[in-house]
Amino acid sequence: MSTRILRPLPVPPDNPAAILPDLAEAISGNVTWLPVPAGRRREDRDRADLLIRSQRCGEPVNPEIAVVVCTSGSTGTPKGALLTPGNLVSAADSTHSALSGEGHWLLAMPGHHIAGLQVLVRALVAGTEPACLDVSAGFRTDDFTKLSHQLTDAATADGLPVYTALVPLQLAKALDTLAGIEALRRFNAILIGGGHLPRHLRESCDRLGIRIVATYGSSETTGGCVYDGQPVPGTRMRIRDGRIHLGGPMIAAGYRTSPPGDDSFAEPGWFATRDRGEITGGVLTVTGRLDDLIDSGGLKLHPGIIENAMLDINGIDSACVVGIPHPRLGQAVVAAYTGTIEPWEVIEGLDDLPRWQLPKDVRHLTTMPLTGPGKPDRDAVRRLFTAPIR
């Protein structure tokens, strides 16, 4: 039997659907791909080079693996989740079972990330042709609206439902215009992932008759596998020592390059996430990251608590909270955000938080540095606050 070699799969930003035949080959068990960005931007080229080197393209790989999908972490060697054909298909089937069955999909995310890749896989499983939005230069509501109309108009011929997947910031942009709202209303369901779904966005969608579904998952779980806090068919979830564990047929076979001492896949069929959470009445609530804990004056704080509170304030599009060195407190809580309101309005909107949790410094950014769709780059934000606060 010939040796299987891991091969790079460049994903064109303007036409991610071009890789559908390659995905079909991988799902059939004939090849193993590493999806990488094929954009002309310097950051795309650098990211592709990093992924190819770190995941050892050109070297042997387990022939049972269909794709190696890297996480969007900002430091160290990217972790490549080993996804089998069974992972990809079971995740797609679970999504369709949780929604209204197989249908048409609009891709509005980079195709080399797991969220975008799974949109393509779902379309492949459903036997439909996905519509693809070029987001290499950002999300443009006009382009999204035009493509949404084209897709939904064409879908009326077979009567299948129509879906898309967005991050919260894309949803907020679309809700800003009447044309965007009309486009959103055309979908049978819209998956929202990549971060906290602000309460005011959900309330707006409920009022406008737009069906959104908040998703939770990662590359290691072949994308979102918990919808509105509840597991999709086939998914299991539990909490161990405050840590979220997810199980099921969509759980990756491990990492291409396992970090030293990593226990993420210590139990077969389960993935121990790096997130803290609670399960109440069968509904999962994510409370923060295990490794993002801030120790300020001896008090432990999960930045996700403040970030979610900030995102629930009207006028904030994205938020990132980090700790920086402080001569007296050890770490000071600071926050960066994008949006239309002033820093003092942010502090006013956090009035319900305990005083010690309020950020010592709040900065309004034009754009939030990201490590992936909707994921703030904490290291980059931390570097913005260069001097300790006194």
Quick: pLDDT tens for 144-201. 999 999 999 999 889 999 999 999 989 999 999 999 999 999 999 999 998 889 999 9
Phi then psi for residue 93, to 5 deg, are: -60, -40
Last residue of a domain, one of 264, 284, 304: 284
Identify residue 180 by its one-letter amino acid code: G
More confident residue, 77 or 220: 220
Poorest-confidence range of 112-121, 230-239, 294-303, 381-390?
Answer: 381-390
Q: Which two tokens stand for residue 289?
A: 């990251």
Q: Quick one: pLDDT at residue 76? A: 61
Which of 256, 284, 312 terminates a domain? The answer is 284
Residues 154 and 249 in one domain: yes
User: Among 39-53, 240-254, 266-280, whose mean pLDDT is lowest?
Assistant: 39-53
Per-residue pLDDT tens over the stretch 82-138 = 999 999 999 999 999 999 999 999 999 999 999 999 999 999 999 999 999 999 888
C-alpha 299/C-alpha 295 separation (Å) is 6
Segment 275-289 shows an average pLDDT of 92
Indicate whether 202 and 269 sit together in one domain.
Answer: yes
Q: What is the mean pLDDT of residues 277-282?
A: 95
Q: Which of 284, 316, 344 is the last residue of a domain?
A: 284
Residues 238 and 351 in one domain: no
Helix (H) / strand (E) containing 247 = strand 243-247
Instruction: Give me the number of domains the chain comprises.
Output: 2
User: If residue 349 lies in a helix (H) or strand (E), which one and from where to where?
Assistant: helix 343-349
Strand partners, 331: 325
- What is the mean predicted confidence (pLDDT) over 297-305? 84
How high is the pLDDT of residue 72? Answer: 66
User: Residues 55-84: what's their mean pLDDT?
Assistant: 88
Q: What is the mean pLDDT of residues 247-256?
A: 97
Contact indicator for 89, 121 with CB cutoff of 8 Å? yes
Res 21: pLDDT? 98
Residues 303 and 260 in one domain: no
Contact indicator for 278, 285 with CB cutoff of 8 Å = yes
Give the angle 86-91-92 at the CA atoms, nearest 5°.
105
* Averaged pLDDT score across all residues of the chain: 92
**Torsion-angle region of 327 (φ positive above 0: left; ψ -120 to 50: alpha; else: beta):** alpha
- Given a cut of 90, whether residue 370 has pLDDT beyond it is no
HSE-up of 209 (CA within 13 Å, CB side)? Answer: 4
Torsional class of 185: left (φ above 0), alpha (ψ -120 to 50), beta (otherwise): alpha
Give 132-180 as a DSSP string. E---TT---HHHHHHHHHHHHHHHTTTT--EEEEE-HHHHHHHHTSHHH
Residue 159: which CATH number?
A: 3.40.50.12780
Output the domain CATH number for residue 376: 3.30.300.30
Name which of 383, 365, 214, 183 is nearest 284 in CA terms. 214
DSSP state of 305: H
Residues spanned by the domain of 182: 84-284
Q: How far apart are CA 247 and CA 235, in angstroms?
A: 6
Whether 74 has a pLDDT exceeding 60, the answer reads no
What is the maximal distance between C-alpha atoms in the chain? 67
pLDDT, tens digit, for every residue of 4-54? Answer: 999 999 999 999 999 999 999 999 999 999 999 997 888 889 999 999 999
What percentage of the chain reaches a pLDDT higher than 70? 97
- Per the CB < 8 A criterion, the answer to whether 139 and 170 are in contact is yes
> Could you give the CA distance from residue 67 to residue 8 in angstroms, rounded to a whole number?
10
Does residue 57 belong to any structural domain of this protein? no
Pinpoint the alpha helices (H) of the chain: 20-27, 42-54, 85-98, 114-126, 141-155, 168-175, 178-185, 199-208, 303-311, 343-349, 378-384
Alpha carbon distance 314, 211 (integer Å): 20
Q: What is the pLDDT of residue 73?
A: 54
Helices 178-185 and 199-208 cross at an angle (nearest 10°) of 70
Q: Is pLDDT larger for residue 120 or for residue 387?
A: 120
Is residue 199 in a domain? Answer: yes
Q: Which residues of 90-99 are buried (b: 16+ CB within 10 A; e: fewer)?
A: bbbbbbbebb
User: pTM for the full model?
Assistant: 0.85
Residues 229 and 171 both lie in one domain: yes
